[in-house]
């Protein structure tokens, strides 16, 4: 194990982390502000991936496909909020879980009807293929580097919007005390629709960036959703900062665990025992981490509400 390898694996972890962050940001805002448990967030991720593939094929241009995919996911998100979720804010969490689980089934079947059950073919434009040379002497896929950059830029933008703009102020106020914000004459319905749409667009962005590396198929959203819930529990529900820190921690811990846990265990216990314990433990790492965080700080690392 060399430091170059550790650096490269940390980059992999960071890339996974920013992907999780894009998902977690929307989910945590919706949970924090509207007090809504949205299991269908993974479906919006899936819709983003499908819309981008379809739009790229239709326009023949990758960037146009990305832009159209984002707009379409935003629209779907706002539509879902207006049609289905608005009635659920005052209901308890169990009803919300039930209803949004229904939305998962609805979207998975919709996608299977529209595009079929087989995974879609996705490709990258030539300017995103290839590699960059790392100072460690190895090569890193250019596309994954681009994902890291986009993720960090979005994080910076979100930070600016939430802390420096009037909309961000309302969002933060909504997260702290929804009733009071409504009482002060703010159009809380509109605010909710905007926040939900923005969250959907972020999930869509994660989905369309995942398309070229993962498999674009019905049910793809549920594969990532569980890790996203782990992220927001670790980071603190309703906190964008928590989502970013939680996502990067989860991404790096998961990746480094998969890469180095087995060889490290081999030094402590017998190599044959490490052979079977390593992979099992590596896949549990993020859940163990969550358990520890919950024990030490039950509200997460950066709780939104005081």
> What are the residues binding another protein (CB under 8 A)?
2, 5, 8-9, 12-13, 15-16, 108, 112, 116-121, 123, 129, 131, 138-139, 141, 143-144, 212-220, 223-224, 255, 258-259, 275, 279-280, 282-283
Closest among 225, 249, 200, 263 to 51, alpha carbons compared = 200
Q: Kindly give the residue spans of alpha helices, DSSP state H, lying in 60-141.
A: 62-80, 93-115
Q: Residue 77 or 278: which CB sits closer to another protein?
A: 278
CB of 236 to another protein, least distance (A): 25
**CB-CB contact of 120 with 217 (8 Å):** yes
Find out whether 23 and 224 touch, Cβ atoms under 8 Å.
yes
Cβ closer to another protein: 10 or 35?
A: 10
| Number of residues that make up the chain | 306
CB of 113 to another protein, least distance (A): 12
Q: Are 36 and 213 in contact (CB under 8 A)?
A: no
**How many helices (H) and strands (E) in the chain?**
11, 2
- Check: CB of residue 300 under 8 Å from CB of residue 244: no
- Neighbour count for residue 252 (Cβ, 10 Å): 18
Please say which residue, 12 or 56, places its beta carbon nearer to another protein: 12
- Rounded Cα–Cα distance for residues 256 and 144 (Å): 17
Nearer to another protein, 188 or 230 (CB): 230
- Of the pair 243, 253, the CB lying nearest another protein is at 253
Closer to another protein by CB, 9 or 176: give it.
9
Cβ of residue 276: shortest distance to another protein, in angstroms? Answer: 8
Nearer to another protein, 143 or 159 (CB): 143
Supply the minimum distance, in Å, between the C-beta of residue 133 and another protein.
12
Distance CA 223, CA 212 (A): 16
**Rounded least distance, CB 219 to another protein, Å:** 4
Query: Rounded distance, CA 300 to CA 253, Å?
Result: 17
Q: How far is the CB of 212 from another protein (least distance, A)?
A: 7
CB of 12 to another protein, least distance (A): 5
Cβ closest to another protein, residue 240 vs residue 249: 249
| Least Å from the CB of residue 298 to another protein | 28
Cβ–Cβ < 8 Å for 284, 225: no
What span, in angstroms and rounded, lies between the C-alpha atoms of 134 and 140?
7
- Residue 298 tokens read as 């039950």
CA separation for the pair 186, 269 (Å, rounded): 61
């Amino acid at each position: 194990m060399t430091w170059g390898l550790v650096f490269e694996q940390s980059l992999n972890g960071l890339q996974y982390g920013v992907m999780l962050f894009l998902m977690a940001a929307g989910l945590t805002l919706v949970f924090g502000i509207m007090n809504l448990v949205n299991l269908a967030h993974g479906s919006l991720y899936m819709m983003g991936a499908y819309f981008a593939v379809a739009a790229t094929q239709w326009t023949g241009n990758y960037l146009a496909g990305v832009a159209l995919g984002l707009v379409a996911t935003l629209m779907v998100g706002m539509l879902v909020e207006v049609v289905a979720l608005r009635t659920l804010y005052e209901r308890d969490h169990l009803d919300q879980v039930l209803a949004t689980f229904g939305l998962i089934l609805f979207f998975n079947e919709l996608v299977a009807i529209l595009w079929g059950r087989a995974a879609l073919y996705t490709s990258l434009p030539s300017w995103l293929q290839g590699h960059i040379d790392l100072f460690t002497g190895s090569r890193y896929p250019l596309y994954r580097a681009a994902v890291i950059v986009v993720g960090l830029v979005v994080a910076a933008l979100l930070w600016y919007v939430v802390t420096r703009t009037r909309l961000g102020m309302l969002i933060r106020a909504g997260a702290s005390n929804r009733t009071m914000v409504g009482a002060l004459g703010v159009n809380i319905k509109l605010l909710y629709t905007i926040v939900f749409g923005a969250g959907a667009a972020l999930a869509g962005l994660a989905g369309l960036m995942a398309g070229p590396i993962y498999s674009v198929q019905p049910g793809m959203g549920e594969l990532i959703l569980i890790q996203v819930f782990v992220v927001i529990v670790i980071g603190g529900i309703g906190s964008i900062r928590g989502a970013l820190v939680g996502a990067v921690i989860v991404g790096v811990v998961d990746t480094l665990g998969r890469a180095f846990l087995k060889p490290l265990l081999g030094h402590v216990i017998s190599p044959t025992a490490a052979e079977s314990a390593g992979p099992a433990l590596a896949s549990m790492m993020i859940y163990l981490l969550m358990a520890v965080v919950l024990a030490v700080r039950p509200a997460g690392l950066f709780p939104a509400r005081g």
